[in-house]
Amino acid sequence: MRWLRKSTRSSAEPMSAAATVSGIGWPRLGKALPGAVWASLLLTPAFVSLASVSFYPIVNGLYLSLTNTSLITQENEFSGFSNYVQLWGDAQFWNAWWHTMWFTAASTILETVIGLGMALILCEAFKGRGLVRAAMLVPWAMPTVVTSKMFGWLFDGQNGIINYILLHAGLIDRNINWYGSPDTAMTTIIIADVWKTTPFMALLLLTGLQTVPNSLIEAARMDGAKGWITFWHIRLPLLMPTLLIAGLFRALDAFRVFDLVYVLTGGGPADSTETLSTLSYKVLFSTLQFGYGSAVSTAMFVTEGMIALAFCLYLIRQIRRAQ
Amino acid sequence: MNDTRSPLQTVFIYLGALLILVWSGGPFIWQFSTSFQLDKALTSGSPSLIPDPFTLEHYYNAFVEKELHHYVWNSLVVSLATTFLCLFVGSLAAFALSRLNVRGRFGILMVILSVSMFPQIALVGPLYLVATNLGLLDTYTALIITYLALGLPLVTWVLFGYFETLPREIDEAARMDGVSIPGLLWHIILPMSLPSLVTTGLLAFITAWNEFLFALAFTSNIDRQTIPVGIANFTNLYYVPWGDIAAASAVVTVPLIVLVLFFQRHIIEGLTQGGIKE
C-alpha cells in the first residue's frame, strides 16, 4: 500500500521542521521577553476564545445534563442520571438518533462517490475547465438557509420545477409532495445536502488526485493497462488517505445537520426528518428544559465522538496491516 | 494525455463537465429567474426560465415590507467584526505555532481542529445561559464572540499552513538584524502573507455571514437578527412567498458568489492546504 508509506512520511516532516525551529532558538532574540513567554502570550487570545466558547459549554452542558434545570420552573437541582434514564426510554430520541445516522451515512457515501466521479472528470484537460471549477464553489458559498429555501421552491409539491420536469419526462405520473410527505421528506433533505456539499468534496479530492504522479499512470498505460485498471490500482490507492480524511470530516459535519432540516421541514412531517440537532434545539428552546436538552446534546456529542473514533481505528488498522 | 483519448471518451468528459455545470449553477439560476417573475407566472403550471413579464415587485416586497436592509446591516456588522478579530487572533496563534518554540505544537493544532468538530447544538444551551446572565442577548457582541471561536480553528490552520511555506532563512536574517518577535510577525511575516490573509478573511466572513443556529438562539428582534434568521422567517400568513424569498436569496448570495469567484483559486488552495494535505 503505497499511500500509507507516503502518509507516514508526511507525518514525519513536521517533526523535523519543529526540530529546526527549536534549533534556531528565539530566546536570546526577544529583547524584553524570552521566546517561550512570547509564545504563550500570542497563544492566549485564541486559547481564551476556544476555552470559553467551546470547552466551557461542553463541560457545563455535561453538568446541566445531570440536573433538572428548567427555565420555566426555575429549578436547577442535581438529579443524577435521571435525564439519561429518561433518554434511554425516549422513543423520540431514538427516532431522531436513527434519522441522524441514516442521514449521515447516506449523504457522506453519496457525496464521496459522486464527488470522486466529478474529480475524475475535472482531472482531465478540457475547454472551460476553469469555468466549471469556479461554478462548483457556488453551492458551497451559499448560506445553508438559502439552500433550504431554494430546495423548498425547487421541490414544491404544487409548482416545483422538479415535479414539472419529472412529470414531463414521464418519470412520474402525478406531483410528488416531496418534503410534505413522511415517505419522501428525508430523501429531499439528503438531496439538498448532497447538492450543496458534493462539488466542494470534488474539489478537495481533485487536489488529492493531482498529487498522483502522471509518470505512474503513463507507465501503466505503456504496459497496456486500461483506464479503469489504472484507476483501481494506482489512483484510488494513492487517493485513499485524502478520501478517508475528507469522508471523516464530511461525516462529522453531516451528523450535526441543523439549518437544512430546521428551515425546510422543521423536523416534520410526523417527525419523519427529526434529527438530533433539531430535537435538542426544540427541547432546549421550546420546552426550555435545559437539563434534559443538555442530556440529548451530550448523547449526541458522545455518538459523534464514537464515529470519529471508529474512523481513526480503521485508519490505524490499515496502517498496521501495511507494516 | 489528450492524444491518447478516444472520441468516445472526449464526448463522455464534456458531457460530465456539462452535468457538473448544470448541477452547480442550475438551481441558483432558477432561483434568480424566479425573483424576477410575477407570482401569477410562477403558479401558472408552465414555468419559463426567461421572466415574462419582468418584475422587480419581489425586490420591492423584500426591502419595503420585510425590511431586508436591517438584516443585511446586522450581518455586515457581525461578519466584518468577526473577520478582523479572527484574522488578528488567528495570526497571532498561527505565528506562535509556526515560528516560536512551542512544545507540543501538533497536539495543540489537533486540539484546535477537533474543537471545530464539536456539535454546535451542544454549545448553544450553556452559552445561552451565559449570555442571559451577562445581559448579552440581542447584542452584536454575543454573536461576534461566538463566531470568533467558530471561525478561529479554520483560520489558524490555514494561516499556519501558509506560514510553514515561508522560508526559515527569513527568521534567521531578521534575528541577525535584531528584529524583535512582534516585529518579525508585523513587519515581515504578515506583509508576505497578504494573499493568504485575504483568503482566510473571506472564509471567516462566509462562516459568520451564513451562521444560523446561534443567531436564531441569541437574537429575537429585527434590530439584531442576521440574514439567515431573517430569510428563515420569510413567510406570509396564507402562502409561502417564493418570489420574495428568491429576491432575498439573490440579494444575500450574489455578492458572496462574486467574491468567491474572484478569489476562487486562493480559496481552493488555502482550504486544501489547511484542511486536508497538512
Render pLDDT for B214-264 as a digit per residue (tens, 0 to 9).
Answer: 999 999 988 899 999 999 988 766 778 888 899 999 998 888 888 888 887
Do residues A301 and B118 make contact, with C-beta atoms less than 8 angstroms apart?
A: yes
The CATH number, out of the four listed (2.60.40.10, 1.10.150.170, 1.10.3720.10, 3.30.420.40), of the domain defined by the range A87-322: 1.10.3720.10
CATH superfamily of B70-233: MetI-like (1.10.3720.10)
First to last CA, chain B: 29
Cell of A208: 488529492
DSSP state of A181: S
Question: Cα–Cα distance between A318 and A320 in angstroms, integer?
Answer: 6
Instruction: Determine the pLDDT at residue A255.
Output: 93
Which among B102, B171, B232 is the nearest to A145, CB-wise?
A: B232
First to last CA, chain A: 9
Instruction: Determine the pLDDT at residue B147.
Output: 95
A300 Cβ contact partners less than 8 Å away, ≥ 6 residues apart: A100, A255, A276, A277, A280, B119, B121, B122
Which among B156, B178, B216 is the nearest to A46, CB-wise?
A: B156
The list of chain B residues with pLDDT below 70 reads 1-4, 236-237, 270-278
Residue A237 CA neighbour count, 13 Å, CB half:
16
The list of chain A residues with pLDDT below 50 reads 1-31
Q: Report the residue of A43, A245, A262 to disrupt the B interface, i.e. the one with the largest count of B CBs within 10 Å.
A: A43
For B54, phi then psi, to 5°, come to -80, 135
For A58, phi then psi, to 5°, come to -65, -45
Which among B123, B150, B232 is the nearest to A263, CB-wise?
A: B232
* Sequence-distant contacts of B255-260: CB under 8 A, at least 24 apart: B256/A141, B256/A142, B256/A143, B256/B206, B256/B209, B257/A137, B257/A138, B257/A141, B257/A142, B257/B28, B259/A141, B259/B202, B260/A137, B260/A138, B260/A140, B260/A141, B260/B202, B260/B206
Predicted ipTM of the assembly: 0.88
Taking contacts as CB-CB distances below 8 angstroms, the residues of chain A near B16 are 117-118, 121
Cell of B258: 462574486
- Render pLDDT for A80-104 as a digit per residue (tens, 0 to 9): 888 899 899 999 999 999 999 999 9
Domain ranges of chain B: 2-57, 70-233
DSSP state of B277: I
Instruction: Determine the pLDDT at residue B133.
Output: 92
Domain ranges of chain A: 87-322
Beta-bridge partner residues of B267: none
Cell of B12: 463522455
For A128, phi then psi, to 5°, come to 80, 15
Instruction: Determine the pLDDT at residue A76.
Output: 80
Is B124 in contact with A281 (Cβ distance < 8 A)? yes
Among B155, B160, B166, residue whose Cα is nearest residue B89: B155
